[in-house]
Structure 1
Amino acid sequence: MAGILQLFRDVWDVVDMLAQKLQPCDPQEIRESIESLNGKLRFLKPFLEEDKMQMQLENDFKGLVPEIETLVNNFHRECPQNLPNQEPEELYKKIYPFCKGLLAKITQPPVEARFEGEVRKLKRKVRDFEKNIIIYGRNFGEKTYKRRKLNPIDDPEIFGFDADIEKIVGWLCDGQVVDRAVVSIVGIGGGGKSSITKKVCNRNEVTTHFGQPIWINISPNYVLFDTLRDMAQNLDIELSDMNEGNLGKAISEELEEKGSYLVVFDNVWLEEFWREISKFLPDKKNGSRVIITTRLKNVAMMADKTYPPYELPLLNDDEILEIFLKNVDPKKQHCPDTSPLHSIAKEFATYCRGLPLAVVVLSGLVATRPYNFHEWRKLSKTISWNVDGRACIDIIAKSSYENLPQAEKLCFLYLAAFPGGDLIDAKSLCRLWVSEDLIQREERRTLEEIAENILDDLVQRNLVQVSTWFYDGSIKYIRVHDILREFVVHEAQKLDFIMVCSKPDDWERCSKAKRVAIHYCSLDLDEQISNRANCNVHSLLIFNHGSKPLKLDYSKFRELSVLICKTWDTGTVKLGAPKLRYLQLEISGIKENEVEFGEWVRGMKNLETLDLQESRHGDLSEWIWQAKTLRHVLLYWDGSSPTTHGPPASAGVKNLQTMTGVRWGRSWDSGFPDLSNVRELDIAIDRGIPKGEIERFLHGLQNLDNLSIRGDVAVLQEIDWKDFPFYGSLKSLRYGYEIGDLFWPLPPALQLRDDMFPPNLTELYLEVGGFGSDPMPELEKLKLLKTLTISGLGRLENENAVRRIRCSSGGFKQLEKLNLYYLPLEEWEIEPDAMPMLKKLEVYCCDPLKVPPELTDRLPSLQTLRWPTHIQAYKDAIHNIYEQKPNLRPSWD
């Protein structure tokens, strides 16, 4: 809301100046109207920012906000930008040509006059809204508190269910049942089905028996093809335009090859699910297992009857209390058993009715309050607890939502746009919030940084779950629990903030909304949308992974500012939507219609984010660098060589923060563009670019955090990183040969120098043709390194490349993840106290490297180990390690 009010103040500034300069137009009446409207909105702002808005006032105001957005957006597009906060003479010089051009348009009225009717209409509505506030009344003066900082790395703890886990593990590993069998876990929503299943899959007995499980989240709007596609991706099967039958056949063959397998289908809703999916799950009498989690016992009964449905019990109050205290007071400093806070904590535990999700969300809410008896008691009294089961989660979710800062509420509701069960890319989500004007500007911080802080807060409040973390502890992927998502969708649609279309009948309800998210697959809405397209839709998010492509006439969406299209094949579409600010496509057909697509993008003068990472395309450099507003450009890269060249020196891309999937060839022969604000860069450098030119380019990257640079290793290894402005701030570096130059000539063995890499790296990825000497002593100097990946060429490596490596005592003190790929090593020595924090180790295609005998004793923090090998003696050694460390598991998440 604050962003909308700020836009209105901008409108007032511009119109006020127009009124002073355009005397022939006599816009005094319009000026007064907008002044009055702005004044009333300024008066209403405190009401709107209160956390507990009256329901009736919400309903009255919800229809006003889209009209305000439309008016402001239209006005800004037709008025010159960046006028406020300038000296009068500068303003006059900028505004005079614009005003003169308007006066010359005899056939149409000046811009402010064309908005006269809309302003008057909105003024009347605001006046009515003001009267309602007087009638309903409001309470002011409630205190707000800045929440305590929690550790973002620690996920909420879930305890209990030990006996249940043992029972389920016993069924999975039952050697007496060789047939493929289904274990169904049934329980109330929020009862811990998914959490328990993950704990089961992480048990050493299970991972040793089945290897890496195949985990599939099932949408409430289940379609078979979607599930098969997800399974294929999990199994690394190339999709390549397969139909349902061919895809199912490929999955069956892959599972047969895998041997004994474990597949998890999480959150199944439909009885016909097992009948449809079972034909693609081969039964080779090798003890394969399937886990189904569901809220519905009749769904569980439809699977095979080898094992009865396991009905998950609720936790008791003591177990709930333990979870609550662990999340709210992990250091046990504030809630000892005899304290008044402990007595209230017991009350909170009883409110949760034995549901793990309820206590996780409630503890996130309580953690926002001071450790104060009065505050906890006041929170307890604000909620009616005389309910059972699922209703208590809804109440807690509602209370958590109402306690969010106003700026975070709309960001939280925006999660309704994403299908249930989907992983949500955190960076993409933050960019969407920015493009939707949900983020309010602050001094000395980018909009993206503010958005990341909001997401961090939602995680710490346990309203969203982190699925994957980045190397530096920032969030990579999140997901929303299905029950919390149901709450978010309900609230978002109640306020007409986002309308979700998941079946054909929904389009009638969604067709007049400003933001529409389409969650369906094989259902045919093409004709309905094309015939009844709403020209005022601002945001259209299409998550259509079904077998039938969705073909839309985008030319009808003239006001579209955000477009996400996730569908496998759009076919021939009519392009349009010139006002786009955010464009993300996962489609085929761009490469075949490159010129048409390029001209479409060229016309987007307001484009901020272009995300084509999942859409194969050719060289788009002729078209995509036209917009002066670009902030994030993410292009397709298939692992060989990027096709699109970077922006020319003449491009106005000073706002650019992210640029991935580009190459440096001919485009920078005449100089470099201004990339001083780029924070993330992924670039491939053509052979023949001299070292001096590369260094001159890198000198212009003043704010770089994340760099992936690939090219001629013989040239790159001569670069001295100390000379660059980002030397002390770079956190992630990916460095090595360009894949397109892989086979000839082969990359030379890398010679590491003293202090070769920036000292504050937390992630380093080296793609090299081997090393001239042991790289570990030099790499151990990177004191903050948390993730290290070294990838070689296997048997193609230089014959002089080193074959022995040693991790020394006290080295890699912060390292948590180590990956060694395609390195023909023979010996690896691990000294005592080396890598004391290492949690994940993956060694792949490094034969004939033997498993170090000291591996289990000298890596005390190791949690996951993946070391696939075809040599039987090495397989036996890995199996022995799993037996020695029962809690150790193969990495599968």
Structure 2
Amino acid sequence: MEAALVSVATGVLKPVIGKLTTLLGNEYKRFKTVRKEIKSLTHELAAMEAFLLKMSEEEDPDVQDKVWMNEVRELSYDLEDAIDDFMQSIGDKDEKPDGFIEKIKNSLGKLGKMTARHRIGKEIQDLKKQIIEVGKRNARYRSHEAFSKTVNATVDPRALAIFEHASKLVGVDEPKAEIIKLLMEADVRASEQQQQQQLKIVSIVGSGGMGKTTLANQVYQELRGQYECWAFVSVSRNPDMTKILRTILSEVAKKDYATTEAGNIQQLVIKIIDFLADKRYFVVVDDIWDVDTWDIVKRAFPATSSTSRIITTTRMNSIAHLCCSSFNGHIYNIRALDMVHSRQLFHTRLFKSDEDCPSYLQEISEQILEKCDGLPLAIIAISGLLANTERTKNIWNQVKDSIGRALERNPSVEGMMKILSLSYFDLPPYLKTCLLYLSIYLEDSTIEKKGLIRRWIAEGFIHREGRYTAYELGERCFNELLNRGLIQPAETNLYGIVKSCRVHDTILDFITFKSREENFITLLGVPILTNENQSKVVRRLCLQGVEEGNSTILTAGLVLSHVRSLILVRGLVEIPSLEEFSHLRILDLSFQPLEDHHLEVIVRLFQLRYLNLQRTKISKLPEQIGHLGCLEVLDLRGTFVKELPASIVNLRKLMHLLVRSALEYSLR
């Protein structure tokens, strides 16, 4: 697969070079001053792009190289913005005015455009000087070697096997039986009165990547049929309590309350209590991080239902003790895999069912597994890396030596990050970019494959290549991330095709850190993620929960005029002003309190490629929507729009128009 148009490694150097080549064509001959600067710049940028691609394979480049890489990448974004402004300013050169007044207006307009062209031309000259200066400061264009890479066009069934049903999960049978026993047998510590009056709870505790969620889910799947109602809900670090309670109510009542206005927290708690009051229920509350969250959730469960059961999972012993003290409970400390099960998981990913580990790799395999220390996520990550390398003793030794002794020092954090870092730097540049983009999603999100691939394409990470469409190549990227164990399948159809995925929270931590480090995505909201070394010039902005009057505070001191992607999640109270976002390409306002008047600004975002208005209060699209000539995806599902304006036919690049079935096209 060719290098992506846009990547975390090279920024937008590739499309910049393409646009510079276009500006050297016959159509732009009259702009002689700018052409002189462009010609000398194109070759310099091409050499820099090749060097950046090589450097992106280096896990720990020296400080000078890293500074240089960041400077070139950031300058590439500024250069593309300047070129786009220049091309926009001359976009209507062929229009011929009629009438005296129109000629006067046109002359004044041309004068303004000439001023704009002169200003933008000077910007391009200044940026060229900066590029040359940066290149001189780092005059070491050298190549580096990395592990060999392959791209799989389909999902490797061995990668899916480790996430499939209980019969194929490794090392789960014994702990599952132990938890079921704790849930079902009488508690000798409790009095007879306590046993009759209190529901029973088991809290599974262990570090990230140990398999707590997988274990809880297996117990849940086996036992839920024995109860009148059941629910499985993931909480995560920054919970939306209203959404969580709606999910519990939806699942136990078997009605869809998740997307309706079903009341505030207190009202939802009362509704759940009333529904569960005389029923036997089984609920799993996964991934609890703080006391306040549990204090709210536990109120929804009638404590006197002695025949009901609850499982919680958490990383913190204090939370596990709190959960158990609320009811009649047991703490279950999840154990790491023993060597037999570690080996089984490792081999399941790397070798076919009728294939053994080659004798020349057996000793190295054992050494790698010792360093993984029985952590399932570490084994999955490292085996995913090895599955995409040659089976040679030399390469496997390189991987083993790269892990170092980090896992032995701190297996829950430092070593895991080292494992994930190895897997990350083994990815080709386009896959690094696609993976880091997943940091825009909240913890425990179910990510639809189709929607994700459309975003990748609109961002420019993937493009048509040869006989393959951009979407087909997007599927290949999605499948390879599955194969490497960096994303997990969430839903599959009847034919075994993965329709959606999830990102383990430990992996999400890692890619969020890398996104901020590379100034790839800026995340603001709850919690407010800060990094004293992070660039003030924002390229992609993701607002994760902004309360009324707080968006200005969060973005204070940041330069927003070069933002290319604006993504709002978690139901904001306040929509930020879009006046400053003149270079937007991606705009996701889905599920936000958006109304028709907000579109007045949106139709002036001429570089926009992806516009998601799903589940907003929009009822009418403006006629000027046809001015968005670059728009490729328009999502109107769940809005109040009943007809489309005639100018929709001007959207020549539109590839996906997502609407409800009753929508009509109108030539009004």
Distance change >3 Å, CA 617–CA 183, structure 1 → 2: farther
Q: Is the contact between residue 504 and residue 523 of structure 1 (CA under 8 Å) also seen in structure 2?
A: no
Alignment of 1:502-581 (within 5 A): 502-503=525-526, 505-506=528-529, 512-520=537-545, 525-528=550-553, 534-545=560-571, 549-567=573-591, 569-570=593-594, 574-575=598-599, 576-577=601-602, 578-579=605-606, 580-581=608-609
Query: 1:427 Cα deviation (Å)?
Result: 0.8
Q: Which AA in structure 1 matches 2:171?
A: G
Q: Counterparts of 2:407 and 2:260 in 1: how far apart (Å)?
A: 51
Q: Is the contact between residue 206 and residue 316 of structure 2 (CA under 8 Å) also seen in structure 1?
A: yes
Out of 38, 47, 50, the position equivalent to 1:34 is 38
* TM-score (normalised: structure 2): 0.84
Query: 1:412 Cα deviation (Å)?
Result: 0.7
Q: Which AA in structure 1 matches 2:271?
A: A
Q: Is the contact between residue 246 and residue 268 of structure 2 (CA under 8 Å) also seen in structure 1?
A: yes
Secondary structure in 2 matching 1:555: coil
Out of 94, 97, 100, the position equivalent to 1:97 is 94
Query: 1:625 Cα deviation (Å)?
Result: 4.7
Distance change >3 Å, CA 192–CA 506, structure 1 → 2: closer
Out of 409, 419, 432, the position equivalent to 2:432 is 409
Pairwise CA RMSD of aligned residues? 3.3
Asked if residue 71 in structure 1 is aligned to residue 79 in structure 2, the reply is: yes
Query: 1:358 Cα deviation (Å)?
Result: 0.5
Q: Which AA in structure 1 matches 2:209?
A: G
- Deviation string, structure 1 residues 752-782 (Cα, Å, up to 9, x no partner): xxxxxxxxxxxxxxxxxxxxxxxxxxxxxxx
Range that drifts further, 47-56 or 441-450: 47-56
Q: Counterparts of 2:657 and 2:540 in 1: how far apart (Å)?
A: 23
Out of 499, 509, 522, the position equivalent to 1:486 is 509
Alignment of 1:123-202 (within 5 A): 123-135=128-140, 138-140=142-144, 142=146, 144-147=148-151, 150-151=156-157, 153-156=160-163, 158-174=169-185, 177-178=195-196, 179-202=198-221
Distance change >3 Å, CA 109–CA 617, structure 1 → 2: closer
Query: 1:59 Cα deviation (Å)?
Result: 3.6
Asked if residue 5 in structure 1 is aligned to residue 13 in structure 2, the reply is: yes
- Matched with 2:664 is 645
Asked if residue 253 in structure 1 is aligned to residue 274 in structure 2, the reply is: yes
- Matched with 1:360 is 380
Secondary structure in 2 matching 1:309: strand
Query: 1:536 Cα deviation (Å)?
Result: 2.5
Q: Counterparts of 1:467 and 1:549 in 2: how far apart (Å)?
A: 30
Q: Which AA in structure 1 matches 2:272?
A: I
- Whichever structure has more helix as a proportion of its residues is 2
Query: 1:510 Cα deviation (Å)?
Result: 8.3
Alignment of 1:620-769 (within 5 A): 620=644, 622=646, 624-636=648-660, 642-646=661-665
- Matched with 1:52 is 58
Query: 1:530 Cα deviation (Å)?
Result: 8.5
Q: Counterparts of 1:588 and 1:20 in 2: how far apart (Å)?
A: 42
Query: 1:437 Cα deviation (Å)?
Result: 0.9
Query: 1:233 Cα deviation (Å)?
Result: 4.3
Query: 1:520 Cα deviation (Å)?
Result: 2.6
Q: Is the contact between residue 447 and residue 500 of structure 2 (CA under 8 Å) also seen in structure 1?
A: yes
- Matched with 1:230 is 247
Q: Is the contact between residue 570 and residue 587 of structure 1 (CA under 8 Å) also seen in structure 2?
A: no
Q: Which AA in structure 2 matches 1:97?
A: D
Q: Is the contact between residue 499 and residue 516 of structure 1 (CA under 8 Å) also seen in structure 2?
A: yes
Q: Which AA in structure 1 matches 2:242?
A: F
Secondary structure in 2 matching 1:171: helix
Q: Counterparts of 1:567 and 1:633 in 2: how far apart (Å)?
A: 18
Identical aligned pairs, as a percentage?
22
Secondary structure in 2 matching 1:368: coil
Q: Is the contact between residue 180 and residue 283 of structure 1 (CA under 8 Å) also seen in structure 2?
A: yes
Q: Counterparts of 1:372 and 1:102 in 2: how far apart (Å)?
A: 70
Out of 12, 16, 19, the position equivalent to 2:24 is 16
- Matched with 2:392 is 372
- Matched with 1:331 is 353
Secondary structure in 2 matching 1:553: coil
Q: Which AA in structure 1 matches 2:421?
A: K
- Matched with 2:191 is none
Q: Is the contact between residue 633 and residue 655 of structure 2 (CA under 8 Å) also seen in structure 1?
A: yes
Query: 1:296 Cα deviation (Å)?
Result: 0.6
- Matched with 2:102 is none
- Matched with 1:278 is 298
- Matched with 1:62 is 70
Q: Counterparts of 1:445 and 1:110 in 2: how far apart (Å)?
A: 43
Out of 226, 232, 235, the position equivalent to 1:215 is 232
Q: Counterparts of 2:313 and 2:146 in 1: how far apart (Å)?
A: 43
Q: Which AA in structure 1 matches 2:35?
A: R
Query: 1:647 Cα deviation (Å)?
Result: 7.7
Query: 1:97 Cα deviation (Å)?
Result: 3.5
Q: Counterparts of 1:249 and 1:603 in 2: how far apart (Å)?
A: 50
Q: Is the contact between residue 502 and residue 519 of structure 1 (CA under 8 Å) also seen in structure 2?
A: yes
Query: 1:381 Cα deviation (Å)?
Result: 2.6
Query: 1:567 Cα deviation (Å)?
Result: 3.7
Asked if residue 589 in structure 1 is aligned to residue 614 in structure 2, the reply is: no
Secondary structure in 2 matching 1:307: strand
Query: 1:158 Cα deviation (Å)?
Result: 4.0
Q: Which AA in structure 2 matches 1:582?
A: Y
Q: Counterparts of 1:143 and 1:531 in 2: how far apart (Å)?
A: 42
Q: Which AA in structure 2 matches 1:291?
A: I
Secondary structure in 2 matching 1:496: coil
Q: Counterparts of 1:616 and 1:173 in 2: how far apart (Å)?
A: 50
Asked if residue 463 in structure 1 is aligned to residue 486 in structure 2, the reply is: yes
Q: Counterparts of 1:256 and 1:586 in 2: how far apart (Å)?
A: 37
- Matched with 2:477 is 454
Secondary structure in 2 matching 1:308: strand
- Matched with 1:420 is 443
Distance change >3 Å, CA 521–CA 164, structure 1 → 2: farther
Q: Which AA in structure 2 matches 1:314?
A: A
Query: 1:106 Cα deviation (Å)?
Result: 2.9
Q: Counterparts of 2:548 and 2:443 in 1: how far apart (Å)?
A: 17
Q: Is the contact between residue 366 and residue 376 of structure 1 (CA under 8 Å) also seen in structure 2?
A: yes
Q: Is the contact between residue 146 and residue 426 of structure 2 (CA under 8 Å) also seen in structure 1?
A: no
Secondary structure in 2 matching 1:467: strand
- Matched with 2:192 is none
Distance change >3 Å, CA 420–CA 102, structure 1 → 2: farther
Q: Which AA in structure 1 matches 2:439?
A: A
Secondary structure in 2 matching 1:252: helix
Query: 1:311 Cα deviation (Å)?
Result: 1.1
Query: 1:399 Cα deviation (Å)?
Result: 0.6
Q: Counterparts of 1:346 and 1:614 in 2: how far apart (Å)?
A: 53
- Number of equivalenced pairs: 617
Q: Counterparts of 2:397 and 2:555 in 1: how far apart (Å)?
A: 54
Structure 1: gaps (5+ residues): 84-93, 637-641, 649-666, 668-893
Q: Is the contact between residue 147 and residue 389 of structure 2 (CA under 8 Å) also seen in structure 1?
A: no
- Matched with 1:695 is none
Asked if residue 307 in structure 1 is aligned to residue 329 in structure 2, the reply is: yes
Q: Is the contact between residue 608 and residue 629 of structure 1 (CA under 8 Å) also seen in structure 2?
A: yes
Q: Which AA in structure 2 matches 1:279?
A: R
Distance change >3 Å, CA 249–CA 612, structure 1 → 2: farther
Q: Which AA in structure 1 matches 2:500?
A: Y
Query: 1:446 Cα deviation (Å)?
Result: 1.5
Q: Which AA in structure 2 matches 1:162?
A: D
For the pair shown, the structure with the greater C-alpha radius of gyration is: 1
Distance change >3 Å, CA 170–CA 20, structure 1 → 2: closer
Query: 1:324 Cα deviation (Å)?
Result: 0.3
Q: Is the contact between residue 644 and residue 666 of structure 2 (CA under 8 Å) also seen in structure 1?
A: no
* TM-score (normalised: structure 1): 0.64
Distance change >3 Å, CA 440–CA 380, structure 1 → 2: farther
Query: 1:544 Cα deviation (Å)?
Result: 1.7
Q: Which AA in structure 1 matches 2:371?
A: Y
